[in-house]
Amino acid sequence: MSKPSSHAAAADALPLGVDLVFILVALAGYVPSLLAPELRTWPWWRIGLFIGLGALYLAMGLRGWDWLVEEKRPFGPFIYFTVQIAIITLILWLSLDLPNATWILMMPIVGQSAGFPRLGTVLVVLTLLASFLIPLFLAGASWTTMTNALIGVGTAMLFVLIFTFVTLRESDAREEIERLAGELQAANQQLRHYAVQAEELATTKERNRLAREIHDSLGHYLTVVNVQLGAAQALLTADPDRARDALQKSQQLTQDGLAEVRRSVAALRESPVDSRPLDDLIAELVTENRASGIVTEFALLGASRSLPPQTRLTLFRAVQEGLTNARKHARASRVDVTLDYRQPRQVRLAVADNGAGSADPSGGFGLLGLKERASLLGGELTVETAVGSGFTLRLHLPG
């Protein structure tokens, strides 16, 4: 019996508090004895010993429990119960010829033992019963008297144990509820924290998505318009008809770009690839690129198949980015676009130009946005380039 069980301390389970219980029990056990006529026949040392043992019993109950058990002194419970049982045994032996109410002193000790493992409780109860019965036996009490006394005291002990066990269980349940309530409150607080983080992350992701869409769509149109306007300016004197044609294309592209901006501002409710086949859209981009004076070819390998909307959109934006790069930066004379469906669970895209190339393959915001798109879809975007060796964009996506 080296430590209390998982139950709360039995003393805490007593409704009135352990101090008050010990005082009331001591009064209930001692007052009838001190008022008994038989006490007048006792010698003074016996009366002093009787009262002194009662005071020691109270001191152990009021302070000994806290000092030995609650503060977890080495062998504290063993010392506490041994001393209390020895005190009660002496009190019972001294008061054999008095009205026998001192047996009630055992009840708080029984209640305190209920807070320990069952074996410890049984040992305390059996030792107390022996301390109660042995003085009776030595005093020559009959078996009937001892049996009746055992039944009475045993019943009282059983009541105390049941009451204490029920109170302990209720106390444990209350502590468990409080613990769960605290955990639930902490979980709710953590969930609120996660909700704020999720909202911030969603806002950031949406902001990045909008930035990518605006760059990929509006940037494409503005680049083509810039090329057409440059061509019109160069041909204005030498070939007015071709210059007029370039201006008309610029006007049409400007209108298309405005429509694309309106769609982007409307939170991109519709994707450019929602209503038309991807192959047709890529072919249209290739045709637009040819109009800028760059030889542009489109090769479709394998049979076209249905792809998820985000996969189609990412492929479309990748072609836009590759063609825009060829016109704007690469000073290329030829661009080849290849869409490969031959892998059963993967679609591959390549946009290669024969332009000036670059020493930095990381690219700008457009390539960064495409890499983010590819990563979100479980794919990969790679760039192959070097100064004087052109620029090749490769995109592999599940599909």
- 12 pLDDT more than 60: no
And the tokens for 34?
């001190």
Please tell me which residue, 215 or 20, carries the higher pLDDT value.
20
Quote the CA–CA distance of 221 and 223 in Å, as a whole number. Answer: 5
CA distance 150 to 136: 11
pLDDT band at 180 (very low <50, low <70, confident <90, very high): confident
Handedness of CA 209, 215, 221, 222 (dihedral sign): positive
Bigger pLDDT: 266 vs 295: 295
Stronger pLDDT, 345 or 118, i.e. the higher one: 345
144, exposed or middle or buried, with CB in 10 Å at 0-12, 13-18, 19+? exposed
SS3 397: strand
d(CA 145, CA 124): 23
Residue type, 353: D
User: 246: which residues sit within 8 A by CB, 6+ positions away?
Assistant: 228, 229, 231, 232, 235
What pLDDT is attached to residue 93?
Answer: 83
Closest to 243 (Cα-Cα) out of 256, 229, 255, 257: 229
CA nearest to 10, candidates 128, 119, 153, 172: 172
3-state SS, residue 167: helix
CB-CB contact of 243 with 285 (8 Å): no
Tell me the average pLDDT across 94-113. Answer: 77
Rounded to the nearest 5°, which phi and psi values hold at 14?
-75, 125
Please give the CATH topology (third level) of the domain spanning 276-399. Heat Shock Protein 90 (3.30.565)
Q: At residue 247, does pLDDT exceed 60?
A: yes
pLDDT at 128 over 80: yes
C-alpha 216/C-alpha 141 separation (Å) is 106
Q: What angle, 0 to 180 degrees and rounded to 10, lies between the N-to-C axes of helices 118-138 and 143-235?
A: 170
- Residue type for 160, please? V
Q: What is the largest CA-CA distance in the chain?
A: 145
Can you tell me which residue has the tokens 């209350």?
A: 174
Q: Identify the sign of the CA torsion 165, 170, 173, 179.
A: negative
Q: What's the mean pLDDT in 182-196?
A: 74
64 CB-near residues (< 8 Å, 6+ apart): 80, 83, 84
Query: Which pLDDT belongs to residue 266?
Result: 55
pLDDT band at 244, cuts 50/70/90? confident
Q: What is the model's pTM?
A: 0.39
Query: Is the model's pLDDT at 81 over the cut of 70?
Result: yes
* Arithmetic mean of pLDDT, 354-376: 78
Q: What is the pLDDT of residue 216?
A: 66
Domains of the chain, residue spans: 10-141, 276-399
Cα 105–107–111 angle (5° rounding)? Answer: 140
pLDDT at position 146 is: 78
Q: Does 55 score more than 90 pLDDT? A: no
For residue 10, what pLDDT is reported?
Answer: 45
Residues 6 or more apart whose CB falls under 8 angstroms from that of 397 comprise: 311, 314, 315, 346, 347, 348, 349, 374, 377, 378, 379
Helix boundaries (H) for the chain: 10-13, 18-34, 44-59, 65, 76-94, 106-113, 118-138, 143-235, 240-265, 278-291, 309-325, 365-376
Model pLDDT, residue 270: 54
Per DSSP, 330 falls in state: I
